[in-house]
DNA sequence: CCAAAAGTGTTGACAATACACCCATGA
DNA sequence: TCATGGGTGTATTGTCAACACTTTTGG
């Protein structure tokens, strides 16, 4: 059979699918890209680290489930989460990706500023930030999801203003540049980076208030907040080299 | 609850989800972008047009299901289909997107050359190519899927060599340019387009054999075949204007 | 010979790079 | 006053859009 969408079907005639969301939550900490992982307490993959996630509830879209899980895992309130960047990555549906049953998982990528600590409310007790360089083997196909998410984020930094999602509400251009350099694994020319960002309308907006010292030494840097632009025209291209 | 992936679950404790694939199959015909639709014979949306698609089978990935459906709907053999470009778009999971039951659908976009006719094998009798300009209301949320697919394809033409997927095995640069102009809804400068394509290693390869007349009049154009490159560096940017 | 489509050459605007240089601060 | 990071100026390079022009075909 084929035809358009389910028709003439009997739900019980099909083996049930479980639908879950998996979250790849990234942050930039100490000039390294980190991803939030939780330690598994049960088999399979007991003791392995995995992406946070969970079931999509019967009356909930996958996007809503992702937001809900993100709030639970990061300990942020439901009010703060709407401001975070959350983006559907792709869906993983290999029949054997979970040895217990058929689980189709919709993966999301989230970009958050460097939060104090992943003080997980609920069951997310064993949650930790991990440097994406040199991750061990993760549970299920989560290695692949993390890799896909990294690729997507790196590409999106080129043609969107997404990088500000990694920054606190007020940030310096040096911090913003650090985001690019960390995700892409390259060094950028500061004067040119600065010009490019400021020349893009709506990328950043000068913030009120006094400048701030970043590294303790040096001239205090002016503060900026994220603008309302989403697209970046023309693109901010990364130099030749491949990423870390 | 949250925690990593399904754990301590009981399958029967959750309302079952059906998982389907929906296919947005595009082609360029007569300088217009067309999408393949099938007419629904049952409620809901009886008589409306919908994207081809169907259930993901118990032992099958969504990608495999999409390839299978594509072969059935286009009437192509399973040997031809592997060469076609098929790409996961995103997953649609609104709880009310199907009034009968909870259906999560993984949407795919496919790009095919202008096929003779959608001589659907199987139940795809009522299959037809529709001009994407001025589509009526489609079944379910398929309008939105078609719109998302168009956007994605337009964007991908900029930075990938995907456009050759719309062309027959041997094509002229004029035909390739026509693909861009049709999808983007703009006119491009021929000399510049030509230079750009030929300057990109692996985009197209000069084909053996005699040149061919495209429109009947004018100088016969040299033939090319698709190269093996996938990325397009630097990008082929579309002019300011929005698409059709 | 004219129209139409393929293909070539040239120029100028603009954007990105590379790098020299000045400013403000902590030690 | 030196090291460190923020910030400005400028020349060179390269790419892309615009458009004039030549070539090859059918009528």
- A98: domain CATH number is 3.90.79.10
Backbone angles phi, psi at B5, to 5 degrees: 50, 175
Assigned domain for A11 exists: no
Whether B181 CB is under 7 Å from strand C: no
Distance CA A239, CA A187 (A): 9
SS (H, E, C) A27-89: EEECCEEEEEEEECCCCCCCCCEECCEEECCCCCCHHHHHHHHHHHHHCCCCCCHHHCEEEEE
Search chain B and give the residue with CA nearest A97: B61
Residues A20 and A113 in one domain: yes
Together in a domain, A121 and A153: yes
Q: Judge if A32 and A94 occupy the same domain.
A: yes
CATH number (domain holding residue B193):
1.10.10.10
| Cβ contact B196 with chain C strand, < 7 A | no
Do residue B52 and residue B164 come from a single domain?
Answer: no
Question: What does the DSSP 8-state code read for residue B163?
Answer: G
Assess whether A195 and A86 both reside in one domain.
Answer: no
- Is there a domain that residue A48 lies in? yes
Given a contact cutoff of 8 angstroms between Cβ atoms, the answer to whether B104 and B91 are in contact is: yes
Q: Same structural domain for residues B70 and B187?
A: no
**Does B105 sit within 8 Å of A104, measured CB to CB?**
no
Nearest 5°: phi and psi at A61? -80, 165
On whether any CB of chain B is under 8 Å from the CB of A16, the answer is yes
Domain-ending residue, one of A138, A157, A176: A157
**Candidate from A17, A59, A61 with C-beta closest to B19:** A17
Range of the domain at B105: 16-157
Which residues is B49 bridged to in the sheet? Answer: B39
Tell whether B174 and B87 lie within a shared domain: no
Residue A147 has pLDDT above 60, yes or no: yes
pLDDT of residue A4: 40
Q: Spell out the per-residue pLDDT of chain B, length 244, in tens.
A: 434 444 445 555 566 899 999 999 999 999 999 999 999 998 899 999 999 999 999 999 999 999 999 988 877 766 677 778 999 999 999 999 999 999 999 999 999 998 766 555 555 568 899 999 989 899 999 999 999 999 999 999 999 999 999 999 999 999 999 999 999 999 999 999 999 999 999 999 999 877 777 777 889 999 999 999 999 888 898 886 434 4
CA B152 to chain CA centroid, Å, is 10
Query: Which pTM was predicted?
Result: 0.91
Shared-domain flag, residues B66 and B180: no
Across A91-119, average pLDDT:
90
User: Which nucleotide across the nucleic acid strands is nearest to A173, CA versus C1'?
Assistant: D6
**Do the domain assignments include residue A28?**
yes
Residues B93 and B132 in one domain: yes
Which residues does residue A106 pair with via DSSP β-bridges, in sequence order?
A21, A91
Residue A120 belongs to some domain of the structure: yes
- Chain B residue with the nearest C-alpha to that of A42: B7
- By Cβ distance, the residue of B7, B55, B105 closest to A42 is B7
Last residue of a domain, one of A105, A129, A157: A157
B51 in contact with chain A, both atoms CB, cutoff 8 A: yes
Q: Which residue from B79, B136, B67 is spatially nearest to A2, judged by alpha carbons?
A: B67
Same domain, A88 and A146: yes
Contact residues, A window 103-122, toward B, CB-based 8 Å cutoff: 103-106, 122
A44 with A129: CB under 8 angstroms? no
Q: Name the domain count of chain A.
A: 2
If one compares B110 and A123, the residue with the highest pLDDT of the two is: B110
SS3 B25: strand
- Cα end-to-end distance, chain B, whole Å: 46
Distance CA B230, CA A95 (A): 28
Asked if A50 and A166 sit in the same domain, the reply is: no
Tokens 């300088």, residue?
Answer: B31
Phi-psi label, residue A175: left if phi above 0, alpha if psi -120 to 50, beta otherwise = alpha
What is the C-alpha separation between B228 and B45, in angstroms, rounded? 42
In a domain, A71, yes or no: yes
Angstrom distance, B213 CA to C4 C1': 11
B239 occurs within a structural domain: no
pLDDT at residue A82 in the model: 74
Residue A169 within a domain: yes
Q: Is the CB of B218 under 7 A from strand D?
A: yes
CA distances from B157 to A231, B153, B190, B237, B243 (A): 17, 6, 17, 9, 13
Minimum Cα–Cα distance from A70: chain B residue: B2
């Amino acid at each position: 059979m084929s035809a358009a969408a389910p028709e003439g079907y009997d739900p019980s005639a099909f083996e049930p699918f479980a639908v879950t969301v998996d979250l790849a939550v990234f942050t930039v900490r100490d000039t390294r890209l980190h991803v939030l992982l939780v330690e598994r307490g049960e088999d399979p993959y007991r003791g392995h680290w995995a992406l946070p996630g969970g079931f999509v509830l019967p009356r909930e879209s996958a996007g809503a489930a992702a937001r809900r899980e993100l709030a639970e895992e990061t300990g942020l309130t439901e009010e703060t989460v709407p401001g975070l960047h959350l983006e559907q990555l792709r869906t993983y549906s290999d029949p054997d990706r979970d040895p217990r049953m058929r689980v189709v998982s919709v993966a999301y990528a989230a970009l958050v500023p460097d939060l104090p600590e992943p003080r997980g409310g609920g069951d997310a007790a064993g949650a930790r930030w991990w440097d994406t360089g040199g991750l061990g083997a993760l549970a299920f196909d989560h290695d692949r999801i993390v890799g896909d998410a990294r690729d997507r984020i790196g590409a999106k930094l080129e043609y969107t203003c997404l990088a500000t999602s990694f920054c606190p509400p007020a940030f310096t251009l040096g911090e913003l540049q650090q985001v690019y350099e960390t995700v892409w694994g390259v060094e950028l020319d500061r004067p040119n980076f600065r010009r490019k960002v400021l020349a893009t309308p709506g990328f950043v907006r000068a913030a009120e208030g006094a400048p701030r010292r970043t590294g303790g030494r040096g001239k205090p840097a002016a503060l900026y907040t994220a603008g309302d632009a989403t697209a970046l025209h023309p693109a901010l291209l990364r130099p030749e080299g491949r990423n870390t």
